[in-house]
Chains A and B, each alone.
Chain A
Amino acid sequence: MIEIPPIMAIILPLFGAFLTPIIATVSRRFDAERKVCGWFTVAITIAMLLTVASMGVKIWGGEVIVYKLGGWAPPWGIVLAVDGLNLLIALIVAGVSSLVAIYSLVYMRRDTRIDLYCVLLLLVTAGAMGITLTGDLFNLYVFFEIMSIASYALVSFRRKWDSIEAGIKYLIIGSLGTSLILLGIALLYGMVGSLTIADLAQKLGQIAPSDVVVPLALLVTGFGIKIAMIPLHAWAPDAYQAAPSSISALLAGATTTAGLYAMIRVVYMMFGAFGVGTIFAIFGLITMVLGALMALTQRDLKRLLAYSGISQMGYILLGVGLGTALGIQGGLFHLLNNAIFKVLLFMCAGAILYRVGTTNLDELGGLGKNMPITAGLFAIGALAISGVPPLNGFASKWTIYIAGIEAGKAVFSLIAIIMSVLTLAYFLKAINSIFLGQRPKRLQNVEEAPLTMLFPMMLLAVLCIVLGVLPSLGIDLVAPAQGAIMNQSGYIHAVLGGI
């Protein structure tokens, strides 16, 4: 039986993106372009989420779903292969995209060319989904480019000076990253003559590790740029600050997750290089510490969130880099949690920007009286990201701390704990600057964010609490992904079918 959900999950947003301009042209005649395009995007992303979720039963049952494009068997044809790791990332990408699409219905109300926004949003989603589900390395690069190019355009969407500047910087740094990835892929193809990830993993096992140093370094740097790993992070604060907040949420929750997936898949499954995990752990620590220190000095909320996101990426790298089952589980759990609270916090920043017009901490204050729901949701997100119990960030960070101690790297755990305290410090500063203290006169009449914007934020806040109170639920969600990372031979066998 042919499994169509993997290809459908990519086709839906991709064709949706191409259909949007036609739908916009028709609906413009009835003066309903904004509503129709917005709801069409929501429908597409929810359909994609349901399609991805439909694969859950089989994959959590231990199967790997393989879809051969055009019926061509690998390694000659392109395959889509979905195991536990793919499914977890696909669920995050589809979930975040759906919530961002709902949030954008109101958030983008004051912007023009909403049809272009929807096209680009769907293209980013299609690219991220493609990266997540493909079993072919060159295909992964193509989807990476689709996602990246649409992201550059979205960062510059509002066509202000700072957004154009940030967009161009992101374009140049991002292009450097994708060029490095392409170069790495070319070198690997030259070595083994294959582009199927499973086939590459099999054949690379027969090559001396010293021969793969250059392609591995090229690929890790390329993906490192996408996930904003320090010192490859420079583009991120500018882009996150200048982009519309819905897009900052999408970049933080979906594209970064897809980039990290590519890194894990390439390093752990293709190179089978658990030794390289130490590099991840060390770069993770550097990213965690410097990200937190830089966040501490920020005066703009979105910039603060960007550096905080970089710091959280450090936790994930540390967990995954430890290389133990518990470490990988903790890293993946934090990846899931990071997508939840980071998107929530960017949406809160968007709500403030939407009502007040600025995210400069020096110009805000006392908004807790005007925007009590947003204040509550922001507090939940801030406490969750700081690892305060009983929220989800505590559960995943705790798993990483324990994994560090068990792996004999207690110093790493200690540094991670100190950075959590620092995270709490800069988020308390943000809460105090925005929602507490003296309210400036010009903010007296600020209203609460619209319900359509609050709905996805509430959903994410509930997830923060549920996954914190019931951490076993989160662990159950990421356990198949951790199993997939550690079961390289199972993936190869399922894709190549004993070739």
Chain B
Amino acid sequence: MELLHVIATILLDTIVVYFSLVVKRQTSERFWSLIRKTFWPFYHYVKPGHSGILSTYLLWAVVGFVAIFLATMVVLG
């Protein structure tokens, strides 16, 4: 039962992430709500004032890590 609960949660989260990032870009902030909560006193400063939004920056960092990881795996693995 617990396992089912975990699987259901992961599935639900994946759908939410997919919708927030791909389907409804304007709600992409929800994906990073943990960061928003942590940095709430300053978060209103972190807007696309002159460049891009933080979520996109973090997404690129994750993409970078995956790319480096795959490249390292190909070379050393």
A209→B47 CA distance, assembly (Å): 42
A210, B76: Cβ atoms under 8 Å? yes
- Residues of B near A279 (CB, < 8 A) are 68, 71-72, 75
Binding-face segment, A228-236, A251-259, A416-424: A228-236
- The answer, yes or no, to whether A168 is at the interface (CB within 8 Å) is yes
From 214 to 245 in chain A, residues with beta carbon under 8 angstroms from any chain B beta carbon are 214, 216-218, 220-221, 224-225, 229-235, 237-238, 241
B63, A231: Cβ atoms under 8 Å? yes
B54, A217: Cβ atoms under 8 Å? no
A224-B76 CB under 8 A given contacts A172-B39, A238-B50? no
- The answer, yes or no, to whether A48 is at the interface (CB within 8 Å) is no
Rounded to whole Å, the gap between the CB of B9 and the closest CB of chain A is 24
Rounded to whole Å, the gap between the CB of A303 and the closest CB of chain B is 8
A235, B57: Cβ atoms under 8 Å? yes
A474→B58 CA distance, assembly (Å): 38
A229→B63 CA distance, assembly (Å): 12
A213-B73 CB under 8 A given contacts A161-B49, A164-B42, A238-B51? yes
Rounded to whole Å, the gap between the CB of A252 and the closest CB of chain B is 18
- Residues of B near A172 (CB, < 8 A) are 35, 39, 54, 57-58
- Residues of B near A218 (CB, < 8 A) are 65
Give a binary string over A158-192; 1 marks a CB under 8 Å from any B CB, 0 the rest.
00011011001100110011001000000000000
A213-B69 CB under 8 A given contacts A165-B46, A165-B49, A176-B61? yes
A229→B58 CA distance, assembly (Å): 14
A224, B64: Cβ atoms under 8 Å? yes
Closest to A215 in B: B72
Contact of A220 among B39, B47, B61, B72 (CB under 8 A): B72
- The answer, yes or no, to whether B19 is at the interface (CB within 8 Å) is no
A173→B55 CA distance, assembly (Å): 10
What is the number of residues of chain B that contact chain A, defined by CB distance less than 8 Å?
28
A376→B57 CA distance, assembly (Å): 37
B69, A217: Cβ atoms under 8 Å? yes
Binding-face segment, A85-93, A270-278, A345-353: A270-278
B76, A231: Cβ atoms under 8 Å? no
A231, B69: Cβ atoms under 8 Å? no
A220-B58 CB under 8 A given contacts A165-B47, A168-B45, A231-B63? no
- The answer, yes or no, to whether A402 is at the interface (CB within 8 Å) is no
A276, B76: Cβ atoms under 8 Å? yes
Contact of A225 among B35, B61, B77 (CB under 8 A): B61
- The answer, yes or no, to whether A477 is at the interface (CB within 8 Å) is no
Q: Chain B's interface: helix, strand, loop or mixed, by majority?
A: helix
A232, B61: Cβ atoms under 8 Å? yes
Give a binary string over B28-67; 1 marks a CB under 8 Å from any A CB, 0 the rest.
0000000100010010011101111010111011011101
Contact of B68 among A177, A209, A224, A278 (CB under 8 A): A224
A176, B68: Cβ atoms under 8 Å? no
Contact of A162 among B42, B50, B72 (CB under 8 A): B50
Rounded to whole Å, the gap between the CB of B35 and the closest CB of chain A is 7
B45, A180: Cβ atoms under 8 Å? no
From 2 to 46 in chain A, residues with beta carbon under 8 angstroms from any chain B beta carbon are none
Closest to A277 in B: B75
A173-B58 CB under 8 A given contacts A180-B65, A212-B76, A231-B64? yes
Closest to B73 in A: A213
A225→B61 CA distance, assembly (Å): 8
Contact of A161 among B45, B52, B56, B60 (CB under 8 A): B45
B51, A237: Cβ atoms under 8 Å? yes
A232→B72 CA distance, assembly (Å): 16
A240→B50 CA distance, assembly (Å): 13
A213, B72: Cβ atoms under 8 Å? yes
A173→B61 CA distance, assembly (Å): 8
A168-B61 CB under 8 A given contacts A220-B68, A234-B56, A276-B76? no
- Residues of B near A235 (CB, < 8 A) are 57
Rounded to whole Å, the gap between the CB of A150 and the closest CB of chain B is 18
A234, B42: Cβ atoms under 8 Å? no
- Residues of A near B72 (CB, < 8 A) are 213, 216-217, 220, 276, 279
Contact of A168 among B46, B56, B60, B75 (CB under 8 A): B46
- Residues of B near A176 (CB, < 8 A) are 58, 61
B68, A169: Cβ atoms under 8 Å? no
Contact of A217 among B47, B63, B65 (CB under 8 A): B65
- The answer, yes or no, to whether A469 is at the interface (CB within 8 Å) is no
Closest to A214 in B: B69
What are 22 A-B residue pairs whose CB atoms fall within 8 Å in the complex? A161-B49, A164-B42, A168-B42, A168-B45, A168-B46, A168-B54, A169-B46, A172-B54, A173-B61, A176-B61, A212-B76, A213-B72, A214-B69, A216-B72, A216-B76, A221-B68, A231-B61, A234-B52, A234-B57, A276-B76, A279-B71, A283-B71
Q: Which 3 residue pairs of A and B lie closest in terms of their CB atoms, listed nearest first?
A: A234-B57, A217-B69, A209-B76
**B interface residue numbers (CB < 8 A to A):** 35, 39, 42, 45-47, 49-52, 54, 56-58, 60-61, 63-65, 67-69, 71-73, 75-77
